Chains A and B, each alone.
Chain A
Amino acid sequence: MTVLAIAEHRRGELREVSLELLAASRKLADATDGGLHVGVVSGDIERYTERLNREDVDVVHTVAYGEEFNHDVYTQAVTQLVEAVEPTVVLAPNTVNGLDYLPAVAERLDIPIVTDATELSYDEHLTVTRELYGGKVETTLDIDTQQAAVTIRPGSWPRAGGTGDAEISAFDARIDESAVRSTVTGFQEIGGEVDIAEADVLVAVGRGIESEDNLEIVRDLADALDATLAASRPVIDNGWLPADRQVGQSGKTVSPELYIAVGISGTVQHVSGVRAETFIAINDDPNAPIFEVADYGVVDDLFEVVPALTEQLTRS
């Protein structure tokens, strides 16, 4: 069986998740002694191809068209590539842009799509493992068709290494310009006054805090530690803290010496942005996925534990 992996790049850089995609695809192709084909669409394809030419990649198909990601171009190019290569599985990263075109490819080819895979296997048919309910439950899905489309969760596979000797093949995609109905006019970086990525100690607060007024208790804790206050997305969405405090996928990636997560459940979009030396979690739900990534935890009411901790720290 052949696996087709579609690489991702942005603003002139191949995104690292593309290399994870190669590892996931290779594993799947190996399960059936199949070939690994890679597709790269738009931008500096020569440079991207050089990096994508890793061990065990058989063919890299390049589509020279435009610079940046455009979902209408990707949908057409990848649909045609799937028709030409006839892979059993076409894979893309489960990123904002991966999810912006692969469902349309699947719809056009009338093949099933499953997103956010954390494990993949193939034994007569494709089996996908993925999470439900914010990571508290896992499910496996069997897909019994000739072809399927899957997006993989970033950070779930290692990056493919080595150098390969893949065949480089220019793919002549016919892009119908009248079907390109969106235009990327620019990018905007979201800045702010506080750079939480610079902080050594972060106290991060989540939806468990319930209201803006309650922020007082985490502010006190942050003060006691001379720490910077950060937050998960709902706190920002509610306007309780400014956007520059957001940790996670669409916010900042932080790597402090100490991270204290208060009332944060630990969804992948949040914890993918945390690389702490010491990680403490306070949450009253023993099944909260945050305890999977924490080093130390307390399963209890934050309204009790946080003030008690602040008091301990100010006393000592």
Chain B
Amino acid sequence: MKILVTITETESVDTVFEIDGLEIDSRYLSTDLNEWDAYALEEAVQIAEDGGGEVVTATIGPEGVEGTVRQALAKGADRAIRVWDEELAALDILDPLTKATVLGAVVDAEQPDLVFTGVQSGDDVFGATPVALASTLGWAWGTVVNDLQIDEVAHVHRELEGNLEELTDVERPAVLSIQTGINQPRHASLRDITRAQQAEIDTRSLADLDLDVDAIASPIEQTDLYEPESEGEATIYEGSPEETATELAAVIEETGVIR
């Protein structure tokens, strides 16, 4: 079985950061393999280890994300594809339909049996790309999957709200969006990390994927980026841990929960 896993590098803002226009300078950002994608990757790698097959990752992003792509290679992916060019770089934001178009073209080129994605990217949290991708491909899909058995169909548990799971059978081929907790993602060994450092990452442009610039045009324009105004009314205690602990203990006693 050949499984394609979409991998994205997510950014998180540091404790102290500044916004400059529509940008946050990279010195205030930390990057990592998207939390959800780590679980999607592990699920694919386990399936390939158990039943044979290949795991290929697909990533949209500039050269700078190759460290994250190599993390995925170290954690068991066989091959990696990275899509980027000037046209993608010129986009204001990567919206879900744009991501789906580009990833869909990679799937068309690779012809995997299944595609695994994370449920969402931790930074832009659209959570819409998996289903948009399945729709682009004309494939079946299953989302927020926290349990998976594959035979002629994919038997999935979909995690709904409020401690409830939906049990669903999804025809193949399918795009499955994987939820955290489905497995325990592995840590890469030093040997795997070294091997991944030397691996070839297959880089493609839109033209390589037979896409033109119109295919990725987005009518969504980012017009503002700001720190939300605090609406909280929390009383914040300051001082040494002993001092703040004393204040908190007084608050707790006041609530009357200590009997």
Residues of A within 8 A of B (CB): 10, 71-72, 75, 94-97, 99-104, 106-108, 110, 112-116, 127, 131-145, 151, 181-191, 200-201, 225-226, 233-234, 236-239, 249-253, 257-258, 277-278, 280-281, 284-287, 291-301, 304-305, 308-309, 311-313, 316
Give the nearest-CB partner of B129 in chain A. Answer: A103
Residues of B150-179 whose CB lies within 8 A of A = 157-171
Partner of A250, one of B125, B140, B159, B234: B159
CB distance from B180 to the nearest CB of A (A): 5
- B19 proximity list for chain A (CB < 8 A): 137
Q: How far is the CA of A233 from the CA of B161 in the complex (A)?
A: 13
Q: How far is the CA of A4 from the CA of B140 in the complex (A)?
A: 26
CB distance from A142 to the nearest CB of B (A): 5
Residues of B82-106 whose CB lies within 8 A of A = 93, 95-97, 100
CB distance from B257 to the nearest CB of A (A): 5
Partner of A142, one of B24, B127, B221, B245: B221
Tell me whether B158 and A236 are in contact (CB under 8 A): no
Give the nearest-CB partner of A298 in chain B. Answer: B244
CB distance from A278 to the nearest CB of B (A): 5
- B111 proximity list for chain A (CB < 8 A): none
Counting CB contacts under 8 A, is B199 at the interface? no
Give the nearest-CB partner of B169 in chain A. Answer: A183
* B residues contacting the other copy or chain, number (CB 8 A): 84
Q: How far is the CA of A129 from the CA of B41 in the complex (A)?
A: 32
Tell me whether A114 and B220 are in contact in the complex, defined as CB-CB below 8 angstroms, given that A99-B128, A106-B97 are known contacts. yes
Counting CB contacts under 8 A, is B1 at the interface? no
Tell me whether B180 and A313 are in contact (CB under 8 A): no
Give the nearest-CB partner of A136 in chain B. Answer: B13
Give per-residue flags for B212-248: 1 if the beta carbon is below 8 A from chain A beta carbons, else 0.
0000001111111111101111111110011011111
Question: Looking at chain B's contact residues, is the secondary structure mostly helix, strand, loop, or mixed?
Answer: mixed
Give the nearest-CB partner of B154 in chain A. Answer: A182
Counting CB contacts under 8 A, is B134 at the interface? yes
- A114 proximity list for chain B (CB < 8 A): 95, 126, 220
The 7 closest A-B pairs by CB, nearest first: A308-B245, A181-B140, A237-B181, A312-B249, A107-B135, A292-B232, A103-B131
What would be 19 A-B contacts, judged by CB atoms less than 8 Å apart?
A100-B158, A108-B135, A115-B96, A115-B127, A137-B227, A140-B224, A182-B168, A184-B168, A186-B167, A188-B167, A190-B163, A191-B163, A249-B162, A252-B163, A278-B251, A280-B251, A293-B232, A294-B234, A309-B245
Tell me whether B97 and A305 are in contact (CB under 8 A): no
- A258 proximity list for chain B (CB < 8 A): 252, 255, 257
Tell me whether A233 and B171 are in contact in the complex, defined as CB-CB below 8 angstroms, given that A144-B219, A187-B166, A300-B241 are known contacts. no
CB distance from B102 to the nearest CB of A (A): 13
Partner of B234, one of A95, A107, A115, A291: A291
Known: A72-B140, A142-B220. 9 other contacts (CB 8 A): A96-B159, A132-B225, A140-B223, A187-B165, A226-B259, A250-B162, A297-B235, A305-B241, A305-B244
